[in-house]
Amino acid sequence: MNVLILGAAGGIGSSLVEKLDSLDSKLFLGYHNSKITSNHPSHQVDGSDFEATDSFVKSGLERLGSIDGVVCLAGNLILKPAHLSSEKDFSDSIGANLKTAFSVVKAVGNNLENCSVVLMSTAAASIGLANHELIASAKAGVEGLTSSASKTYARKNLRFNTVSPGLVQTPLSEKITSNKLALSASIKMHGLQRIGKPGDISEMIRFLIDPKNDWITGQNFIIDGGLSSTK
């Protein structure tokens, strides 16, 4: 497979790169601040910048020749109630999550065909979790974007799906996972009584970008250990 990954330096991104390496995939990796330790070609890109994202996709297409999958893992996580959130918090959350996803859809729609695109949402967009107003609103927008794009670009055989994790052990969630009380409370909320590992999420992404699974589009896959479906 030939795959473009934005946000490849994070926990889920690193896991996905490892899985795709085992399949001898050709990758073009995008990172924002944290550099990538990989033998694959990589490029610094701000996913919320439309021109930069378009350039990244064009460069990946030029390097790899064809693209089977595009994965957008860029995002942030600001946990605070709405009344304590600043306008900057809101702009940062929308920019890092929804605008980045929109930027990827725009670039893919301009440049690619016959390709699977995976965007990231969150289980928190489907259930009510305290202090998740910022991330839930941004990711709910990503889910709506995915549904619309899957219809708009079906004529080009571009498939769009979202993956919605529960709490996963990554650098992004470190503020929660490093707090024993918060971590214990979160574990109890997950039906399987554990938080996720990056591999739990990257395995679903790998499945969705596999060209063999090309009759899946417009779907949201909740991979959350029972967080949203059990009590």
Residue 113 and residue 67 in contact, taking contact as beta carbons nearer than 8 Å: no
pLDDT one-digit tens code per residue, 24-55? 999 999 998 877 777 899 999 999 999 999 99
Classified as helix, coil or strand, 117 is strand
The reported pLDDT for the residue numbered 156 is 98
Residue 3 and residue 211 in contact, taking contact as beta carbons nearer than 8 Å: no
pTM comes to: 0.96
The reported pLDDT for the residue numbered 231 is 86
Q: Given pLDDT bands bounded at 50, 70 and 90, which one contains residue 170?
A: very high
For tokens 């609103």, name the residue: 137
Q: How far apart are the first and last CA of the chain?
A: 39
